[in-house]
Structure 1
Amino acid sequence: MPGIAEFALAGAPIAGGALLGIAAGNLKAPDIRGMIAQDMDLLERIPPDQVERRAELQRVIDMRIDDLITGVDKNRELRQLAASYQGNWRDIVVFICAVLFTIVWWNVEHERTNWVLMFVVLIVLSILAGVYAARGLLRGLSSMLRSRRAEAAE
């Protein structure tokens, strides 16, 4: 049984990182449209003689609508930015760092309980970073070749 416990403890940092990634992917923004609808319903229920309270609630509703419009605009900008991303020098730096850390990890004593698991994860991450960096380099080279062909054609 100590072997299973050691294996579980060895995988804890990797599992924690995976759980953090899953949690980050599942975070949902508040339902602003639902809150606006609830606030508008509440505004209708406030008696007309409470002018000050109605005005403050209307101000809150207006702020939420403005936030919704701003959020949609920012989301559109982020999607356009992500779609136009071609890769850059940071991809290459991440790949080099992943390879170097894998080399450093190779020189750590192999008797550690988490050595094999972490080494496998580092190899996989190095491969993924290499693919991503190569993709960026190929896109950059293809755009450079296209621009040179366009210059030569003129």
Structure 2
Amino acid sequence: MPGIADIALAGAPIAGGALLGMAAGNFKGPDVQGLIVKDMDLLARIPEDQVQRRAELQRIIDMRVDDLIAAVHKNRQLRQLAASYEGNWRDIVVFVCAVLFTLVWWNVDHGRTNWLVMFIVLIVLSILSGVYAARGILRGVRTFLHSRHRAAHGQ
């Protein structure tokens, strides 16, 4: 039976991947609105006689406002795409692969220090991917039955 230190050391790559995923999810881009406010403040401080500098800074502010508007539209499109996702065959493939890899991992030497940690991660992955696959299958069946019902009633 491996010791706690062996299990912790074996779980380091999995924990590192989880931390990387959390860090990627919390990544924030630059505060474009704050930059626009600072640029507008700077524009107000530039003397009126420096026409070229004021025009160039105004052009930069306009570009940032355009970028902000484009980002809002892109974000809305991505949210609509994510909300409309109904699952597909890839969810089933991920589920089958997770289950198969769990079965393969079961046959690996149980004395390895990372065996238990990896096996638990594979079980969790199999369950989660199974939920997504089942959800996609149920939506597909529901859509099929709904379309048959409409066809039967001439709609």
TM-score range, shorter chain: over 0.9
Shift of 1:90: 0.7
Q: In structure 2, what residue type is equivalent to 1:128?
A: L
Q: Distance in 2 between matches of 1:136 and 1:57?
A: 51
Shift of 1:5: 2.4
Match of 2:108 in 1: 108
Shift of 1:61: 0.6
- Cα deviation code 1:11-35 (max 9, x no counterpart): 1011111111211121112111111
The runs of at least 4 consecutive aligned structure 1 residues that moved more than 4 Å come to: none
Q: Distance in 1 between matches of 2:4 and 2:148?
A: 59
- % same residue: 75
Match of 2:147 in 1: 147
Query: After superposition, where does 1:2-81 map in structure 2 within 5 Å?
Result: 3-81=3-81
Q: Distance in 1 between matches of 2:93 and 2:55?
A: 54
Question: Aligned to 2:109, what secondary structure does the other structure show?
Answer: coil
Q: How many residues align?
A: 153
Shift of 1:3: 2.4
Q: In structure 2, what residue type is equivalent to 1:99?
A: V
Question: Aligned to 1:90, what secondary structure does the other structure show?
Answer: helix
Q: Distance in 1 between matches of 2:25 and 2:129?
A: 20
- Cα deviation code 1:118-143 (max 9, x no counterpart): 10110111011011100011001101
Normalised by the size of structure 1, how large is the TM-score?
Answer: 0.95
